[in-house]
Structure 1
Amino acid sequence: MRSPGPRRRRALLVTLVVLVVAVDPALAGPTTTADLINELRYKLLIIAIPVTIVAEAALYYAIKTFRNNDTPKPTLENRRLELTWTLGTAAILLFVGFASYGVMAQPSVVYPADKADADGDDVVVDVDAYQWGWEFNYPRHENVSTDTKVVLPVDTRVFFSISSRDVVHSFSVPEMGLKQDAFPGEENVIMTQTTEQGTYQGYCTEFCGVSHAKMTFTVEVMGQQEYQNWLGDQEQRPATDES
Structure 2
Amino acid sequence: MDSRRSTIAVAVAGTLTGLLTLTGTVAAQSENRDLIDGLNYQLLYVALPLTLFVLMILVYAAVKFHDNDDPKPTAEDPALEITWTAATAIILLFVGISGYSVLVSPYVSPSQPADLAADGTGDEFGSIEDLPETDDEELIVRGYQWGWEATYPEADVTTQNEIVIPADEDVTMWLTADEVIHSLFISDLGAKQDAFPGEYTRLRTSVYETGQYDAVCTEFCGAGHSRMSADVIVVDRETYDEWLEENEGEQATAPDTP
In structure 1, how many angstroms separate the alpha carbons of the residues matched to 2:108 and 2:185? Answer: 13
- Divergent runs of 4+, >6 A: 5-10
In structure 1, how many angstroms separate the alpha carbons of the residues matched to 2:70 and 2:251? Answer: 84
How much has 1:113 moved relative to structure 2? 4.7
Name 1:133's counterpart in structure 2: 147
The count of residues paired between Structure 1 and Structure 2 equals: 237
In structure 2, how many angstroms separate the alpha carbons of the residues matched to 1:6 and 1:229? Answer: 65
- Deviation string 1:110-135 (CA, Å, 9 cap, x unpaired) is 1325663423xx32121111111111
SS at match of 2:95: helix
The correspondence for 1:187, drawn from 200, 213, 220, is 200
Identity across matched positions, percent: 39
The correspondence for 1:204, drawn from 217, 225, 229, is 217
SS at match of 1:203: strand
In structure 2, how many angstroms separate the alpha carbons of the residues matched to 1:69 and 1:11? Answer: 25
In the alignment, is the contact (CA less than 8 A) between 2:148 and 2:162 conserved in 1? Answer: no
SS at match of 1:21: helix
Across the aligned residues of Structure 1 and Structure 2, the Cα RMSD in angstroms comes to: 2.3
Name 1:82's counterpart in structure 2: 81
In structure 2, how many angstroms separate the alpha carbons of the residues matched to 1:51 and 1:6? Answer: 19
Name 2:132's counterpart in structure 1: 116
Q: Measured at CA, do residues 165 and 113 of structure 1 come closer, stay the same or move farther in structure 2, by a change above 3 Å?
A: same
- Are 1:42 and 2:41 matched, yes or no? yes
TM-score, normalised with respect to structure 1: 0.88
1:153-172 matched pairs, under 5 angstroms: 153-172=166-185
Q: Measured at CA, do residues 7 and 75 of structure 1 come closer, stay the same or move farther in structure 2, by a change above 3 Å?
A: closer
In the alignment, is the contact (CA less than 8 A) between 1:28 and 1:38 conserved in 2? Answer: no
The correspondence for 1:224, drawn from 223, 237, 242, is 237
In the alignment, is the contact (CA less than 8 A) between 2:213 and 2:233 conserved in 1? Answer: yes
Q: Measured at CA, do residues 34 and 220 of structure 1 come closer, stay the same or move farther in structure 2, by a change above 3 Å?
A: same
- Deviation string 1:88-114 (CA, Å, 9 cap, x unpaired) is 211110110111111111111113256
Paired letter, 2:110: Y
